[in-house]
Structure 1
Amino acid sequence: MKPFLLSVAALVITVPAVAQPGPSRATAAASPAVPIDKARIDRALAAMVSSGRAVGVSALVWKDGREVYSGIAGEADREANRPMRRDTLAQIYSMTKPVTGVALMKLWEQGRFGLDDPLARYLPEFSQTRVFAGLDASGKPILRAPDRPILIRDILRHTAGFGYGAGDDHPGREWAMLEPLNPDHDLAEFGRRLAKVPLLADPGRRWSYSAAVDVQALLVEKLTGIPFERYVREQIFVPLGMTETAWTQPEDRYPRLAAMYEKGAGGKLQRASEKEQRGLNFNPDRKLTMGGAGLVSSVDDYMQFARMLLNNGSLDGVSILKPSTVKLMATDQLDPLVTERSWLSSKGNGGFGIDFFVRTGQPRDARENRGALGEYFWDGRASTLFWVDPVNKITAVFLVQVIPFDGTLHRDLRRAVYGDDYLGPKGD
């Protein structure tokens, strides 16, 4: 049987740093306890479905080294009358990004590159990348050399200046013409094409969600000489026992894949196109394995990855990263001078580490997601989510298949886990 393939080319609609230390032991000890109220979480999941915001949802929560909650509500496929189950598979889109970050940081631990090395030292095509500086009097684009090279640190924290899809400006039109993330291109061709798309800003000047994580995947291939997909499978998925997480799934698993739903007229959910059901770039002959998207996973499988992070880089005797590397990834890497941050502030009171949002302060108002200082997380285009909370020793995985991104689902789940009034520690 032919495999089915799931990938994504445009994630700019996902709406969903150096360094401030994480909470001290004294601070963590002062944090109020977080009792897990199973009935409250059950009600939250059921309300997501009954309100019409989701067709089916699944959540899994671990705390203090054990499973403390598992729940489902609704249907994986409404039209087929197929219920949501614990083993349901889902497209996780940008929750692929932290996996890619871990893959690359394993090489950093081996001394294969430095965070402040110029990217062009390893990927020379980026030595010629230019910055879009506006239009001249005749309406022609002004392109100039960046004021400093793109550093590897920049591709880890979305400060390289890359874009993430077609747009109305000159870089967006160049992207549309060059199609870097076309699935017919392998990662090497992706890199050659992306390097020709002008940067939106000088490196290090602004936070802009981008194709940088796909560049991370390309860098993994360049440094190892191993196809990125195979490297991740051998170095992360197999050691962690993640048997159902992959870019390429066997066709016999397809009946377990949750259907994708999108908001139609009046906000009502309707079944998305068949193209969306198997990924925006479903193509049996696809060459591209994205670093920024494309994985399919189950709630238990992705929890293995999340638990590894909560356990400071290891799980069940298997070491994936050093504790110091996990701490680095979960520390805000954005210089305070980086004040242009697009929609990042909508994620909460915090900054950005290495492929994670990082909370640096308590929730500022009642509308913000509940969470603890020092937590880190990321989500996906279809409204999926995971987070790691070292203070309370909690990690959670949430699967749903709703586009466009609906942050109200995350708000309700977090309030169900933490309680409406939870603010967590203030920090040092």
Structure 2
Amino acid sequence: MRGKRMALAMILASSGFAVIAPPAQAQTAPAETLAIDKARIDAALKAMIADGRAAGTSALIWRDGREVYFGAAGMADRDAKRPMRRDTIAQIYSMTKPVTGVALMQLWEAGRFRLDDPLSQYLPEYANMRVYAGKDAAGQPHYVPAERPITVRDILRHTAGFAYGAGPTPAHAAYVAAEPLALNITLAESSRRLAAVPLLFQPGMQWEYSIAVDVQAALVEKLSGQAFATYVRTHIFEPLKMTDTAWRQPDAKRPRFAAMNERNDGKLVQQDAIEAQKLNFRDNALTPGGFGLASTLDDYQCFARMLLNKGELDGARILKPSTVKLMATDQLDPATTERAWLPGKGAVGFGFDFAVRKSPPQTADENRGAVGEFFWDGAASTLFWVDPANKLTAVFFVQTMPYDGTLHRDFRAAVYGAGYRGPAGD
């Protein structure tokens, strides 16, 4: 009977009808058996090359404490005729964010701050924030004082009210003019510039993807007394043996670096290497918390496995189990209904620097996955997730811009099966 109900639900979803999820039930194991099909994943990676969505792809999956899949297809650098390899170094952009979150939560474990402390307690520049409140009768921007302070929790869950680039309001224009992510400034200067920019909304009222994780990095620097990159290297990368992950890569590793590819007039065009690699082969003053890392499949898989293993890997304790659980728990108030594009990630909430799956996939087009997984991705279409229900971690590399979510949909379908819905949840 269950199989018939699920088949009917998938038919209705593909026909455009709303599908009502079955009643949630507490389960300790997946409702469906997951079998990793190497041939199916290989075919999906190759198809991404064949249809022109990617120049090169690679993926690494661990399950039950062992590697169950590695595969690669296409070229890391088409101009140089270098194939995608296991040791290829790729730019991971916003997959930097969970690393920053882990660094900040280490300091929380050390008692250096409380989650609901005002951010201005540690970074005083945020003491008197203004909020954009529309335009007056003369068409001039109207600003009001923030009704409450931005908290550390706000910058961990993207509810502070910060912008992240151009947009429709004068507050967005002020953000662009301030250039808080200029590569020639420090994190401290970045924070000072940002604090002078009006907020888009009152703190805590909306979810808006933002520069907040770069503020996290500035806070790590302030609380630890160390340069952010130094702190992350000594407290995360070195204990996890992530030897190829860094903001600044040595020139000797340039031959392993994947080229960036940008879709232009429907075709994927390889970018100029010097311009594409300006984040990783220059001595920039800025070490962003929200982007900038380059890594390998194996390195980032170590980070993902640490999270799956509740904060520890091969004897290196990075976080306490309770802290990982906190980060991977939805932190958004149900009243926070304005969530920008986050619902496009599926039936998810948001924890601390991770999206968190709250319900099984609701339609045939939604990304496959299991309730309780937490994940994030990057601007160049990279992706990783941690799936505790199946004791699985996956890392997917590609260098395609702008972001192409169809690559994630197809990779997840290849990992789980196109009809997989997983555990029903609590």
TM bucket by the smaller chain? over 0.9
Is it true that 1:296 corresponds to 2:279 in the alignment? no
Which amino acid in the other structure matches residue 387 of structure 1?
W
TM-score, structure 2 normalization: 0.93
Asked if 2 retains the 8 angstrom alpha-carbon contact of 1:74 and 1:84, the reply is yes
Q: Secondary structure of the residue that 2:27 maps to in structure 1?
A: helix
For 2:107 and 2:230, how far apart are their aligned partners in 1?
15
Alpha-carbon separation, structure 1, partners of 2:167 and 2:408? 28
Following superposition, the deviation at residue 292 of structure 1 comes to 0.2
- Greater relative contact order (CA < 8 Å, ≥ 6 in sequence): 1
Contact 2:248 2:283 (C-alpha < 8 Å) held by counterparts = no
Shift of residue 275 of structure 1? 5.3
Q: Does 1:327 align with 2:325?
A: yes
Name the residue aligned to 1:259: 259
* Alpha-carbon distance in 1 for matches of 2:385, 2:341: 19
* Structure 2 counterpart SS, 1:239: coil
| Structure 2 segments unaligned to the other structure (5+ residues) | 1-23
Matches within 5 A, 1:119-198: 119-198=119-198
Is the Cα contact below 8 Å between 1:275 and 1:282 reproduced in 2? no
1:389 aligns with 2:387: yes
1:272 corresponds to:
271
Contact kept? 2:160, 2:203, Cα under 8 Å: yes
1:85, 1:411 → 2: CA distance? 22
The CA distance in 2 between the partners of 1:425 and 1:398, in whole Å, is 23
Q: Please report how far the alpha carbon of residue 129 of structure 1 lies from its aligned counterpart in structure 2 after TM superposition.
A: 1.7
Amino acid at match of 2:344: S
Output the CA distance in 2 between the equivalents of 1:259 and 1:244.
16
Please name the residue that 1:5 is paired with: none
Tell me, yes or no, if the aligned pair for 1:62 and 1:394 is still in contact at 8 Å: yes
Q: In 2, Cα distance between the equivalents of 1:268 and 1:344? A: 28
Identical amino acids, percent of aligned pairs: 63
Post-superposition offset of 1:176 = 2.0
The answer to whether the 8 Å contact 1:329/1:356 transfers is yes
Aligned-pair distance for 1:38? 0.6
Determine if contact 1:49/1:74 at 8 Å carries over to the other structure: yes
Equivalent of residue 337 in structure 2, options 332, 336, 339: 339
Q: Find the counterpart in structure 1 of residue 237 from structure 2.
A: 237
Which residue in 2 is equivalent to 1:378? Answer: 376
Separation of aligned partners in 2, 1:386 and 1:30: 20
How far residue 32 of structure 1 moved from its aligned partner, in angstroms, is 1.7
Find the counterpart in structure 2 of residue 306 from structure 1. Answer: 304
User: CA contact under 8 A between 1:386 and 1:395: conserved in structure 2?
Assistant: yes
Q: Which amino acid aligns with 2:52?
A: G
What residue identity is the alignment partner of 1:270?
V
Answer yes or no: is the 8 Å Cα contact 1:260–1:276 preserved in 2: no
- TM-superposed CA distance for 1:136, in Å, is 1.3
The count of aligned residue pairs is 403
Does the CA-based 8 Å contact 2:239-2:316 persist in structure 1?
yes
Cα deviation for residue 361 of structure 1 reads 0.3
Deviations 1:22-62 (A, max 9, x none): x99x6132522211111111111111111111000000000
Deviation at 1:135, TM superposition (A): 1.3
Deviation at 1:326, TM superposition (A): 0.3
- Residue 132 of structure 1 aligns to a residue whose secondary structure is strand
Q: What does residue 416 of structure 2 align with? A: 418
1:139 deviates by 2.1
SS across alignment from 1:139:
coil
Please tell me the residue identity of whatever aligns with 1:206.
Q
**One-letter amino acid of the structure 2 residue matched with residue 268 of structure 1:** K
- How far apart are 1:276 and its partner, in Å? 4.5
Quick one: structure 1 residues 282 and 397, their matched pair in 2 at CA, closer, same or farther if it must change by over 3 Å?
closer
Q: CA deviation at 1:169?
A: 1.9
Q: Is the 8 A contact 2:159 2:205 kept in 1?
A: yes
Contact 2:251 2:281 in 1 (8 A): no
The amino acid across from 1:306 in the alignment is A
Alignment partners' CA distance in 1, 2:375 and 2:359: 14
Question: 1:282: how far off?
Answer: 6.5
Please give the alpha-carbon distance, in whole angstroms, between the structure 2 residues aligned to 1:353 and 1:104.
Answer: 14
What residue in structure 2 maps to residue 358 of structure 1?
A: 356
Amino acid at match of 1:188: A
Deviation at 1:134, TM superposition (A): 1.1
Distance 1:283 1:413, change over 3 A: closer
1:139–1:282: structure 2 CA closer, same or farther, 3 Å change rule?
Answer: farther
RMSD, aligned CA: 1.3
Deviations 1:216-242 (A, max 9, x none): 000001101100000000000000000
Deviation at 1:272? 2.0
The match for 1:112 is: 112
Q: Give 1:168 shift.
A: 4.1
Deviations 1:121-180 (A, max 9, x none): 111100122101111122221111111110110000000000001334211211122111
